[in-house]
Amino acid sequence: MTASSGQVGACSNSRCGHWNNEHNSYKCKEAGCRKRWKICQTGDHGDSGVYAICAKCPDHPAGGPEGFLEYIDLTV
Ligand SMILES: [Zn+2]
Ligand SMILES: [Zn+2]
Ligand SMILES: [Zn+2]
């Protein structure tokens, strides 16, 4: 399977399983960091309507998007 666009196929986080086009990605808030956070927006993980974190910046655990502390963390 090829994934040239990055938007095709299913999420690489095995705990998520949703399609990539149901996600949003955010650049890490740490200045100069180019890593991206990947957020599942289906609201289908645990509490309904709550977003989930499928990928986070490994270097800056506080660098997530607005309100990410309320999200369900699928990376642990
Ligand atoms: Zn996901
Ligand atoms: Zn998901
Ligand atoms: Zn970062």
The residues that bridge with 38 in the sheet, in sequence order, are 25, 55
CA distance linking residue 23 with residue 42, whole number of Å? 8
| Ligand 2 geometric centre to CA of 34 (Å) | 23
| Ligand 3 geometric centre to CA of 35 (Å) | 5
pLDDT in tens, 22-75: 999 999 999 999 999 999 999 999 888 999 999 999 999 999 999 999 999 999
Q: Which residues contact 47 (CB under 8 A, 6 or more apart)?
A: 72
Kindly state whether residue 7 falls inside one of the protein's structural domains. Answer: no
pLDDT value for 31: 96
Domain count, the chain: 1
Kindly state whether residue 50 falls inside one of the protein's structural domains. Answer: yes
Residue type for position 17: G
Domain that holds residue 47: 20-73
Tell me the helix, strand and coil percentages in the chain, rounded to 5.
Answer: 10, 25, 70
**Ion ligand 2 nearby residues (CB, 5 A):** 16, 18, 40, 42
